[in-house]
A = this chain, B = another copy of it.
Amino acid sequence: MVKSVSVGLLGLGTVGSGVVKIIENHQDKLMHQVGCPVEIKKVAVRDRDKKRDVALPEAVLTTNVEEVIHDPDIDVVIEVMGGVEETRQYILTALKNGKHVITANKDLMALYGTELLSVASEHGCDLFYEASVAGGIPILRSLVDGLASDRITKMMGIVNGTTNYILTKMSKFHRAYDEALAEAQELGYAEADPTADVEGLDAARKMAILARLGFSMNIDLQDVYVKGITEITEEDINYSKRLGYTMKLIGIAHRDGDKVEVSVQPTLLPETHPLASVNDEYNAVYVYGEAVGETMFYGPGAGSLPTATSVVSDLVAVVKNMRLGVNGRSAVTPQYDKQLKEDSEIYSKYFLRIHVKDQVGAFAKITSLFSERGVSFEKILQLPLNQKDLAEIVLVTHQASLKDYRDVLQQLRDLEVVEEVKSSYRVEGEGAL
């Protein structure tokens, strides 16, 4: 049986430092859980001389990644350096050298998860990535283990802390998008280039990972429909509230029969929906199983310590497997062929805000367009605008197929009485709470 475990780290940023701290501060607890000492043998960094808040012996640091992934004494490689193409090669090499790998890298797992998991399995290695989705929430393990005997039909998640922070500020403190973004950047919740977050790409990566695991299907990143939050205005948020909704960036993975849809888009949730009260930088994932009904996992989505904690949980799992000699068996091969829903099979309610010319019969022209496609309304507001003889119409439709809704939108834009389609969002049905 394994007597001690040597770990190599790729990267020593905030997450890497967190991992080092937890391993050092919790040696007793780790010993108790895995039954042997865990030692950090080598850490690959970009700059040896950078000042850090963890004290590691000089000899542990190296600027050469190869020294970690080829070191025969290293059992487990923890990748917290980020990046995709180069990092993928490092991880492939580590796996081929028989090292177990733990990664917090959602970009990598969303793009190359299938390949990496299969190489890991070939070489009898574990590849764990709990920290890649909703940092502090053990959602992947819960999907694999806890809900093992259930058939998951729907997952809904707030899986990006930056956008949730921005939308919370816009909703609760009437900030404009730009102000809220600037504030998030100041606090370190958003990066200098926030594109990946605010355009929904980060959330899409996580939804691809969740859908792949939860539906046991090879969902690729390009299968996820993505719309970000950059076009959300104060008006949209105010109307949402007036209609009893909260605006959130929601990732949805939904299975009907054998077909699935996965998307990330701004969504109006009923205020009573449990996800509506997930605020600031917090994340939450709602899971609907046929047997178990609704469950929700809530926690910090990012942050040095929560993410590092997930990484160390994975490390504990790897070391236990090592001591039991059972590594490389936990990667679940996708069980179902990928079948994506057509637009005519994706149903939802929609919020729509349009500016129309304030003339007789305009409203009738618009509503008849909807009724021709069988799309009916749940809520309608019509208000005069203080400009240009325009009126503003806000609609919430009943369930409609995406195909019908898109057709209606297109025809609306072509209508002479329609000045502009200002905004359009998905609306989620009444929450169960």
Contacts and interface: CB of A to CB of B under 8 A. Distances in A.
Nearest to A289: B309
Interface in A22-41: 22, 26, 29-30, 32-33
Contacts of A200: none
Interface string A304-339: 011011101101110000001010010010010000
A141 interface: yes
Interface stretch (A291-299, A342-350, A376-384): A291-299
A195 interface: no
A117 to B, nearest CB: 15
Contacts of A33: 148, 332
Main secondary structure of the interface of A (DSSP, over half): mixed
A149 interface: yes
A274 B280 CA distance: 13
A313 B277 contact: no
A335 B148 contact: no
Range, interface on chain A:
35 or more
A146 B285 CA distance: 15
Interface stretch (A93-101, A130-138, A205-213, A217-225): A130-138
Given A141-B142, A146-B141, A149-B316, A309 B292 contact: yes
Given A326-B326, A433-B282, A150 B296 contact: no
Q: Most chain-B Cβ atoms within 10 A of its Cβ — which of A146, A315, A433?
A: A146
Interface in A114-166: 130, 136-138, 141-142, 145-151
A315 B129 CA distance: 25
Copies in the complex: 2
A121 to B, nearest CB: 14
A237 B142 CA distance: 36
A146 B145 CA distance: 11
A294 B299 CA distance: 6
A138 B149 contact: no
B433 A277 contact: yes
A279 interface: yes
Question: Which 4 pairs across A and B sit closest by C-beta, in order of nearness?
Answer: A138-B146, A149-B312, A295-B299, A296-B298
Given A29-B335, A296-B296, A324-B324, 19 more contacts: A18-B291, A22-B150, A32-B335, A136-B293, A138-B142, A141-B146, A145-B316, A145-B317, A147-B313, A149-B312, A149-B315, A282-B433, A291-B308, A292-B300, A292-B306, A293-B305, A294-B300, A296-B298, A324-B329
Interface of A: 18, 22, 26, 29-30, 32-33, 130, 136-138, 141-142, 145-151, 216, 274, 277-280, 282, 284, 289, 291-300, 303, 305-306, 308-310, 312-313, 315-317, 324, 326, 329, 332, 335, 433
